[in-house]
């Protein structure tokens, strides 16, 4: 198709501007609502996509990105949009998806004010770096091509210069590396280096000075598949009370907003004074578990990652939390097993991956829980699973959004359902 002038109507959940041409939706990356743009439109698969050529009439909410790499690096795709407008767009995406895809009556839902990140930039405490041109960097915008990054302002202050520092230190060892994950907790830094093949001495030789000079607390070297066990150097486990973190395990990227999210989950479960039993699915390293255990009678926490469960058990032992039962297992298989056994719980809390938990309605009904709190990172999965719960007699009660990822289209939601 030829170059076309388009009027951008809204932002899609994937972060693209949406226009219409000949009765069909066109998705234009980098375009904002209210703008008129020139774009090269082409059919990609079953959809029309526009390559932004010129912004004819810019939105008043468009700005010059505060990072010089914003036009090439894929880490912050909404950096050209003011933060207040970013959050409003995310709110509209979640509400529209819940209404149209999940059949949720928003008029009957208590929608709490969204929790904005105290830091719009400099908030990310973890990142994954990839080799590129003999150095380290991130994936580019809408591509798997890579961009060299020496300094990243989106990372927390202690991490911002680490990409370049690691590139300098690793030197020729970078060619043996698949990726490097970096993590910061309370100004302590740790890395995990994931190799393409077996561990060679030049990798440990490159990392040792970083530990010796206290630029990082420790490192975990992970050889390629079937090429050996991980090797720990220094002190790579970081303490973020009440949980422990390792760079090769999952951690929420925005510490301040995560604290608010944990508190909101606890409030939504309505445990105070009830001393009830809670089933927690996809429990990770205990991000939500220990707050639950402080108020619940018993918590059964199910997580598939052996490493995450080990970290959670280590933290529980330090706390003396004897009312938590950790189960290392696939959450879906375990929940199905609990249903077959006739198990009963008062509350269900789950924080599933982006694909969601399609069987959540059946689990909640068969386990006889009276209240479900669902933490979601994908609006479409949340909407679909909300419909599953509604079909089993649960009412969508409340919703609150948490902006863990400013400068991106991602948003976390906490939604409560009652029988």
Count CB neighbours of 179 within 10 A: 15
What is the distance, to the nearest Å, from the Cα of residue 387 to the centroid of all Cα atoms in its chain?
23
CA distance 173 to 96: 48
The helix (H) or strand (E) run that includes residue 189 is strand 188-195
State the chain's maximal CA–CA distance in angstroms.
Answer: 67
- Read off φ and ψ for residue 155, nearest 5 degrees: -80, 160
Catalytic residue among 67, 76, 265, 377: 377
Q: CB–CB of 304/329 below 8 Å? A: yes
134: region left, alpha or beta (phi > 0 left; psi from -120 to 50 alpha): left
Strands 243-245 and 238-240: antiparallel
Helix segments in 251-398, DSSP class H: 255-269, 289-293, 306-319, 331-341, 360-366, 379-391
Neighbouring CB atoms inside 10 A of 23's CB total 5
Q: Which residues, in sequence order, are bridge partners of residue 416?
A: 373, 398
Determine phi and psi for 222, rounding to 5 degrees.
-110, 105
A 10 A CB-CB count for 309 gives 22
Cα–Cα distance measured from residue 196 to residue 46, given in angstroms and rounded to the nearest whole number:
36
Strands 177-185 and 231-234, by their bridges, are unpaired
Which residues are CB-neighbours of 122 under 8 A, at least 6 positions away?
153, 154, 155, 156, 157, 160
Residue 265 catalytic?
no
Question: What is d(CA 407, CA 286) in angstroms, rounded to the nearest whole number?
Answer: 27
75 close to 55: Cβ distance less than 8 angstroms = no
Torsion sign (Cα): 188, 404, 287, 13: negative
What is the Cα Rg of the chain in Å?
A: 23
Please report which residue ranges of 101-191 form alpha helices under DSSP H: 162-170
* Helix count and strand count (H, E) for the chain: 9, 23
Active site residues: 377
């Amino acid at each position: 198709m030829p170059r076309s002038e388009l009027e951008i109507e809204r932002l899609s959940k994937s972060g693209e501007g949406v226009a219409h041409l000949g009765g069909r939706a066109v998705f234009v990356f980098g375009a904002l609502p209210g703008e008129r743009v020139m774009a090269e439109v082409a059919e990609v698969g079953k959809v029309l996509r526009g390559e932004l050529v010129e912004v004819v009439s810019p939105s008043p909410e468009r700005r010059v990105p505060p990072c010089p790499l914003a036009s090439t690096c894929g880490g912050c795709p909404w950096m050209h949009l003011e933060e207040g407008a970013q959050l409003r767009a995310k709110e509209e995406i979640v509400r529209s998806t819940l209404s149209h895809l999940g059949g949720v009556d928003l008029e009957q839902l208590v929608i709490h004010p969204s929790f904005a990140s105290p830091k719009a930039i400099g908030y990310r405490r973890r990142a994954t770096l990839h080799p590129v041109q003999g150095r380290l960097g991130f994936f580019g915008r809408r591509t798997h091509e890579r961009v060299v990054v020496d300094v990243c302002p989106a990372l927390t202050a202690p991490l911002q210069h680490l990409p370049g520092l690691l590139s300098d230190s690793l030197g020729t060892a970078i060619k043996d590396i698949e990726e490097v994950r970096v993590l910061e907790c309370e100004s302590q830094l740790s890395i995990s280096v994931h190799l393409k093949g077996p561990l060679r001495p030049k990798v440990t030789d490159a990392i040792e000075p970083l530990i010796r000079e206290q630029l990082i607390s420790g490192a975990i070297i992970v050889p390629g598949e079937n090429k050996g066990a991980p090797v720990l150097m220094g002190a790579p486990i970081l303490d973020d009370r009440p949980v422990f973190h390792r760079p090769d395990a999952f951690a929420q990227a925005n510490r301040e907003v995560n604290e608010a999210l944990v508190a909101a989950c606890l409030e939504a479960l309505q445990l105070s004074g009830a001393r009830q039993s809670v089933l927690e699915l996809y429990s990770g390293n205990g991000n939500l578990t220990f707050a639950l255990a402080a108020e619940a009678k018993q918590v059964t926490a199910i997580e598939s990652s052996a490493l995450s469960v080990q970290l959670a058990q280590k933290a529980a032992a330090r706390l003396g939390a004897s009312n938590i039962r950790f189960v290392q297992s696939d959450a879906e298989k375990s929940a199905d097993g609990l249903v077959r056994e006739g198990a009963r719980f008062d509350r269900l809390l789950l924080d599933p991956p982006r694909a969601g938990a399609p069987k959540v309605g059946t689990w909640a009904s068969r386990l006889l829980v009276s209240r479900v709190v669902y933490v979601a990172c994908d609006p479409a999965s949340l909407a679909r699973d909300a419909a599953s719960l509604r079909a089993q007699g649960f009412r969508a009660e409340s919703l609150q959004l948490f902006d863990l990822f400013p400068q991106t289209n991602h948003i976390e939601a906490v939604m409560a359902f009652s029988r």
